[in-house]
Amino acid sequence: MIARVDEEWHGEVPVASLHGEFDASNVGELGGRLRALLSNQLIALVVDLSGTSYLDSAGINLLFSFGTELKARQQGLAIVVRSGSPIERMIQLTGLGETVAVHPTLPDALASLEVT
């Protein structure tokens, strides 16, 4: 499946919805798309992985990197992952969920940021 990134804004919070497979072959492009959403005015970035069918270690490392960068800028990173999905299991195994906020739905992620 071809990877796709859909972008939408909720106030000052960009949401990047990732669809398809994200791995070492396209993580550079993904990182560029996410970086293009960043600004000093952001409260947080939300990455919605609900439509992601595969995410390898390169994708996980990218999310760790964005989490660290945004934290240093006093901004947040929230990740949306469907409960019970293979992506959720990978996030648990890697410890990513211990360093960034993980939510089961986009409304939950936005509510945690107090954005409507």
Q: 28-65 pLDDT, tens per residue? A: 999 999 999 998 888 999 999 999 999 999 999 999 99
What CATH number has the domain bearing residue 67? 3.30.750.24
Say if CB 106 and CB 15 are below 8 A apart: yes
Percent of the chain with pLDDT over 90: 89
- Structurally, how many domains does the chain consist of? 1
Parent domain of 97: 4-112
Sheet strand arrangement including 44-55: 4-10, 13-22, 44-55, 76-80, 101-103
pLDDT confidence bin for 114, thresholds 50/70/90: confident
According to the model, what pLDDT value does residue 12 have? 86
According to the model, what pLDDT value does residue 79 have? 97
Percent of the chain with pLDDT over 70: 97
